[in-house]
C-alpha cells in the first residue's frame, strides 16, 4: 500500500513534468523579453547562470540587446530597480532590451567571463571599468567557461561525474534540470531569497491587506536630464585591466560593440579607442558629487544623467 | 549538501540493492565497501587512509587517548589539510568501541562489522552518533520492507524540506547579524539562528535516519522538540541526543565516579558542578577548538550546575503553568547562549549588549 503511494507520487511528478517546458518558456519570455526592468534581486548571483543560459539559447530577441556589467555602481546600490543606470538607459534608448547583470563586489574578471559567455547573444556590452582583474570562483559552476579561463581565474568546477549524472537525470526529469531557471524566471533570484526579501508583502498579501509583490513595477519619475558632463573618450591615465583588454579582443572578433565605462580610473583611452574602433571604446564619465550618494554610487538623478549622456553619445556616433 | 548529490544517491541506491541482494552474512561487507567508496569519492584517499588507520587502531584496542588526539587535530581551526568528513562523530564512535571492548560489553566484533559501523555513509556526514551493539543487531535483523522504505523516503523528504524551505531562509535573516543595530534586530537575528540551527541540524539527522530506514536499519534519534524542554537538563535530553548520551556515558559519569573517590566525596553538588563544567567544556570544544565554543559549552555547564542545585531545594512539578514558565525560561537562556556559537567573541559581546539595550 505504501509502496503504491510512492509510485503514485512519482506518477504525479511525471505528470507535472509535462507542463514544465511551456511554463518555463512563458516565465522566461516575461522575465527576459518584456518591458519589466531587469536586474538581479538583491544583487545575488543565483539568476546569473539561468540568464546566461537563456541568452545563449535565444541569441536573438524581439529587440536589440544591451547588457550592463559591473559592480554596485552599475547595479544601482541603494536605488530602486527602475532608477538604476541600466533601467534608465533602457527607457531613454528606446528599442533596446537592457539586462542589468551587475553584481555588488564584482571585478573586471567577472565582467570578462559573463561578457564572453553572452557575446553572441547581445548587441552591445556596457562594462564598468574596475581596476581589479579578479573573478568569483563560483562563476565556474554558473557559466560556460573554457579550460584556459578556468585555470586563469582558479574557478570552481562541478565534479565531472556529478555533472554527467545531473545531465542524465535532467533528460528524464525536466523539473530537476530547469528548477534554477524556473526560479530565476519567476522571481529574479532563488525562491528562498525571494521569500526572504518579500516576506512582509507576501504576508500582507496573504492576509488580503497588501499588493502581491509579483507584477510590473511602476515607472520611475525621470530625473533631471542634462546634468551629466559631456562624455570625454580621450583622457589619459592608468592602464586598462588585462581582462577588459581581452574582452575588447572578444568583442572585436565577434563584431560586437563594447563600451567601457570609466567612472574614476582615468585610463589611457586614446590608443585603445583607435585600435579597437568601432567595436570597443573607453568613455570617461564625470559625475558631479551632487549626483552621487558617496564617492562612487549614483543618485537616481545621477544614474539618469549618465544614461542620458550614454544614449546621446551612441546617437552621436551612429550614422 | 552531500545527501543531494547524485553521486551519493546513486552510490546509496547501488548499496541498497546489493544489501538486500547478497546473503545476510555479506551485509557488513557491502556496507563497508560502499562506505569506503563514499569516503574515497567525497573526502579523498588521504582522509580515507586516516579513517582506515583509526579504524584499525580501534580494532587492535589502541588507547582511547589516540582518538582524542586525532579529534583535537581534526578540530584545529584552519587545518584544511585534514578535511575531516564527519571525523568528530567518527572519533566519538571509535572511543565508544575501545571503551566498551575494555569494559567487555562488546565481546565479539569482526573487522568487517567494525568497517561497516565506521563507514556507514548516511550517518557519516553529521551523525547521529551510533552505538556498535545496536547497529550490529540492526544490520543483522534488517528486512526488506515497503513500510520502512516509505517511512525512510518520507523522513528524507521531511529533512530536505526543513533544510531548504525553512533553515536556508532563516539563514538569510541570520546573515543580517552584521547590520543589526537595535534590540529588535538583535533578538530577531538570534532567534532566527536558534531556529535555523535546530532545523538545519535536525534536517541532516532526519535525512541520515531516513536513508538508514530504507535499509531497515533504525538509527538513534537525535532531536525531540528541544525547544519544548521545560528545564536545561531536559533540553540536553532532547537536543543532539546521541552526543548528550555519549558525553554522559564516557565523560560525565566516569568523571563523577572518579571524583567520588577523592576528598570531594562529601560534597556531591561540587562533584556534579565540576563534572558538568568539564563535560560541557569538552562538548563546546568538540564543536570547534575556539574559545567561543568552549565558552558556549561552559555556559551550558554552568546552567546545568545551577539547575542541579535548584532541583535540590525546589521540588519539580508537572503543573501546566510551571511547565510553560519552564519552557519559556529554558528557551530564553538557550537562545542567549547561541550568540557565541555563530559570532566571534567580540561581535558576540556587541550582540549581547544590543539584545539587552546596552549598546546602540
> Can you give the residue range of the structural domain that contains A263?
65-136+223-319
pLDDT, averaged per 10 consecutive residues of chain A (319 residues), comes to 82 93 94 85 86 95 94 90 93 91 93 96 95 92 93 92 94 93 92 87 79 42 39 54 94 95 82 90 89 90 94 82
B152-to-B4, B146, B207 alpha-carbon distances in Å: 15, 10, 8
pLDDT of res. A319: 59
Shortest alpha-carbon distance between residue B2 and chain A (Å): 11
- What contacts B187, CB < 8 A, 6 or more positions away? B355
Least confident of A4-8, A228-232, B103-107, B138-142: A228-232
Residue A203 belongs to some domain of the structure: no
- Tell me how close the Cα of A4 comes to any Cα of chain B, in angstroms: 9
pTM: 0.83
The verdict on residue B281 lying in a domain is yes
CA distance B275 to A304: 67
**CB neighbours (10 Å) of residue A65?**
22
Contacts of B7 in chain A (CB under 8 A): 159, 161-162, 165
Q: What is the pLDDT of residues B172-206, one digit of tens each?
A: 889 888 788 899 999 999 999 999 999 999 999 99
**Minimal CA separation from B157 to chain A, in Å:** 12
CB atoms B6 and A159 under 8 Å: no
Q: State phi, psi for A281 to the nearest 5 degrees.
A: -155, 140
Q: Is residue B187 part of a domain?
A: no
Residues of B (254-313) whose Cβ lies below 8 Å from A: none
Look at residue B27 and tell me if it is in a domain: yes
Which stretches of chain A sit within 8 Å of chain B by CB? 1-3, 5-6, 159, 161-162, 165-166, 169, 192-193, 195-196
Give pLDDT, residue A149. 94
Which residues of chain A are within 8 Å of residue B149 when distances are taken between CB atoms? 2-3, 6
The answer to whether residues B83 and B136 belong to one domain is: yes
Does B130 fall in a domain?
yes
Q: Is residue B163 located within the same domain as residue B288?
A: no
Please give the grid coordinates belonging to residue A171: 533528460
Q: How many domains does chain A have?
A: 1
Residue B302 covered by a domain = yes
| Res A317: pLDDT | 78
Same domain for B6 and B133, yes or no, is yes
- A142 inside domain: no
Report yes or no on A40 lying in a domain: no
Residue A46 belongs to some domain of the structure = no
Domain shared by B95 and B167, yes or no: no
pLDDT digits (tens, 9 = 90+) for B28-59: 999 999 999 999 999 888 888 888 988 998 89
Residue A29's pLDDT is 93
- For chain B, the domain total comes to 3
Provide the strand spans (E) within chain A: 38-39, 64-69, 96-100, 124-128, 257-262, 280-284
| Count of CB atoms situated within 10 Å of the CB of A160 | 8
Beta-carbon separation of A6 and B10 below 8 A: no
| Residue B121 CB coordination number (10 Å) | 25
Residue B67 sits in the same domain as residue B26: yes
Strand ranges across the sheet with A38-39: A38-39, A96-100, A64-69, A124-128, A257-262, A280-284
Whether A58 is covered by a domain: the verdict is no
pLDDT for A206: 81
| Residue in A with minimal Cα distance to B146 | A3
B72 shares a domain with B134: yes
Do B32 and B135 sit in the same domain of this protein? yes
As a whole number of angstroms, the distance between CA B317 and CA B323 comes to 8
Q: For an interface test with B, which of A1, A3, A10, A189 has the most B Cβ atoms less than 10 Å from its Cβ?
A: A3
The CA distances from residue B27 to B31, B135, B137, in Å, are 6, 12, 12
Distance, in angstroms, between A239 CA and closest chain B CA?
36
Q: Touching check for B157 and chain A: CB below 8 Å?
A: no
Residues of B annotated as part of the active site: 287
pLDDT recorded at residue B91: 86
Q: What is the share, in percent, of chain B residues with pLDDT greater than 70?
A: 96
What's the Cα-to-Cα distance from A237 to each of A229, A262, A267, A282, rounded to whole Å? 19, 11, 4, 12
- Do residue B154 and residue B132 come from a single domain? no
Q: What is the mean pLDDT of chain B?
A: 91
User: How far is A78 from A90, CA to CA, in rounded Å?
Assistant: 19
Assess if residue A3 is contained within a domain: no
**Contact between chains at B164 and A192 (C-beta distance less than 8 A):** yes
Q: Do A3 and B10 touch (CB under 8 A)?
A: no
Q: Is residue A153 part of a domain?
A: no
Examine the domain organization and report whether B158 and B123 are in the same domain.
no
How many Cβ atoms from other residues are within 10 Å of residue A82's Cβ?
19
Q: How many CB pairs under 8 A join A and B?
A: 33
Structural domain harbouring B230: 226-355
Instruction: Return the SS3 of A38.
Output: strand
The reported pLDDT for the residue numbered B74 is 67
My answer on whether B74 and B108 are in the same domain is yes
Q: Do B321 and B199 have their domain in common?
A: no
Same domain, B17 and B108: yes
pLDDT digit string (tens) for B335-353?
999 999 999 999 999 999 9
Q: What is the ipTM of this complex?
A: 0.79
CATH number at residue A70: 3.40.50.1110
**pLDDT of B65 higher than 80:** no
- What are residue A269's phi and psi, to 5 degrees? -105, -25
Amino acid at each position: 500500500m505504501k509502496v503504491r503511494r510512492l509510485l503514485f507520487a512519482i506518477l504525479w511528478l511525471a505528470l507535472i513534468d509535462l507542463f514544465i517546458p511551456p511554463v518555463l518558456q512563458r516565465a522566461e519570455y516575461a522575465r527576459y523579453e518584456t518591458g519589466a526592468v531587469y536586474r538581479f534581486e538583491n544583487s545575488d548571483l543565483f539568476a546569473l547562470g539561468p540568464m546566461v543560459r537563456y541568452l545563449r539559447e535565444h541569441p536573438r530577441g524581439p529587440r536589440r540587446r544591451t547588457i550592463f556589467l559591473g559592480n554596485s555602481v552599475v547595479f544601482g546600490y541603494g536605488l530602486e530597480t527602475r532608477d538604476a543606470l541600466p533601467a534608465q538607459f533602457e527607457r531613454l534608448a528606446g528599442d533596446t532590451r537592457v539586462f542589468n547583470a551587475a553584481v555588488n563586489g564584482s571585478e573586471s574578471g567577472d565582467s570578462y567571463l559573463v561578457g564572453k559567455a553572452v557575446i553572441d547573444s547581445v548587441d552591445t556590452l556596457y562594462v564598468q571599468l574596475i581596476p581589479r582583474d579578479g573573478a568569483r570562483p563560483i562563476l565556474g559552476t554558473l557559466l560556460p567557461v573554457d579550460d584556459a579561463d578556468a585555470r586563469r581565474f582558479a574557478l570552481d568546477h562541478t565534479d565531472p561525474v556529478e555533472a554527467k549524472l545531473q545531465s542524465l537525470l535532467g533528460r528524464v526529469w525536466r523539473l530537476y534540470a530547469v528548477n534554477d531557471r524556473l526560479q530565476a524566471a519567476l522571481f529574479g533570484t532563488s525562491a528562498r531569497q525571494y521569500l526572504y526579501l518579500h516576506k512582509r508583502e507576501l504576508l500582507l498579501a496573504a492576509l488580503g491587506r497588501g499588493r502581491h509583490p509579483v507584477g510590473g513595477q511602476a515607472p520611475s519619475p525621470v530625473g533631471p536630464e542634462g546634468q551629466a558632463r559631456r562624455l570625454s573618450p580621450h583622457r589619459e591615465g592608468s592602464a586598462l585591466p588585462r581582462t577588459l583588454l581581452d574582452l575588447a579582443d572578444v568583442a572585436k572578433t565577434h563584431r560586437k560593440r563594447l563600451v567601457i565605462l570609466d567612472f574614476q580610473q582615468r585610463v589611457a583611452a586614446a590608443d585603445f579607442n583607435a585600435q579597437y574602433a568601432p567595436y570597443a571604446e573607453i568613455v570617461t564619465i564625470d559625475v558631479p558629487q551632487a549626483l552621487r550618494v558617496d564617492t562612487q554610487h549614483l543618485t537616481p538623478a545621477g544614474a539618469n544623467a549618465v544614461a542620458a549622456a550614454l544614449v546621446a553619445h551612441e546617437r552621436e556616433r551612429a550614422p | 549538501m552531500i545527501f543531494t548529490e547524485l553521486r551519493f544517491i546513486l552510490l546509496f541506491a547501488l548499496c541498497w540493492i546489493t544489501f538486500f541482494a547478497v546473503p545476510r552474512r555479506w551485509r557488513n561487507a557491502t556496507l563497508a565497501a560502499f562506505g569506503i567508496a563514499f569516503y574515497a569519492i567525497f573526502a579523498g584517499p588521504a582522509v580515507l587512509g586516516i579513517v582506515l588507520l583509526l579504524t584499525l587502531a580501534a580494532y587492535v584496542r589502541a588507547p582511547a587517548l589516540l582518538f582524542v588526539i586525532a579529534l583535537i587535530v581534526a578540530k584545529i581551526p584552519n587545518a584544511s589539510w585534514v578535511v575531516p568528513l564527519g571525523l568528530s562523530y567518527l572519533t566519538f564512535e571509535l572511543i565508544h568501541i575501545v571503551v566498551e571492548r575494555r569494559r567487555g560489553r562488546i565481546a565479539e566484533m569482526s573487522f568487517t562489522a567494525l568497517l561497516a559501523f565506521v563507514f556507514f555513509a548516511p550517518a557519516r556526514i553529521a551523525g547521529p552518533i551510533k552505538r556498535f551493539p545496536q547497529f550490529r543487531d540492526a544490520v543483522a535483523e534488517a528486512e526488506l520492507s515497503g513500510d520502512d522504505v516509505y517511512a525512510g523516503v518520507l523522513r528524507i523528504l521531511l529533512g530536505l524540506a526543513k533544510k531548504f524551505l525553512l533553515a536556508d531562509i532563516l539563514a538569510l535573516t541570520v546573515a543580517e547579524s552584521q547590520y543589526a543595530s537595535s534590540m529588535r534586530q538583535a533578538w530577531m537575528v538570534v532567534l532566527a539562528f536558534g531556529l535555523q540551527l535546530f532545523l538545519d541540524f535536525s534536517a541532516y539527522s532526519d535525512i541520515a535516519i531516513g536513508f538508514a530506514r530504507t535499509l531497515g536499519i533504525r538509527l538513534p534519534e537525535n532531536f525531540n522538540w528541544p525547544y519544548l524542554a521545560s528545564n536545561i537538563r531536559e533540553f540536553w535530553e532532547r537536543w543532539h541526543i546521541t552526543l548528550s548520551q555519549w558525553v554522559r556515558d564516557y565523560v560525565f559519569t566516569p568523571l563523577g565516579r572518579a571524583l567520588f573517590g577523592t576528598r570531594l566525596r562529601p560534597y556531591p553538588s561540587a562533584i556534579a558542578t565540576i563534572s558538568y563544567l568539564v563535560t560541557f567544556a569538552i562538548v563546546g570544544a568538540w564543536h570547534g577548538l575556539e574559545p567561543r565554543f568552549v565558552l558556549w559549552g561552559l555556559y551550558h555547564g554552568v546552567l546545568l550546575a545551577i539547575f542541579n542545585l535548584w532541583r535540590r531545594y525546589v521540588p519539580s512539578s508537572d503543573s501546566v503553568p510551571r511547565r510553560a514558565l519552564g519552557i519559556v525560561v529554558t528557551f530564553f537562556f538557550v537562545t542567549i547562549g547561541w550568540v557565541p556559537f555563530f559570532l566571534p567573541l567580540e561581535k558576540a559581546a556587541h550582540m549581547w549588549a544590543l539584545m539587552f539595550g546596552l549598546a546602540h
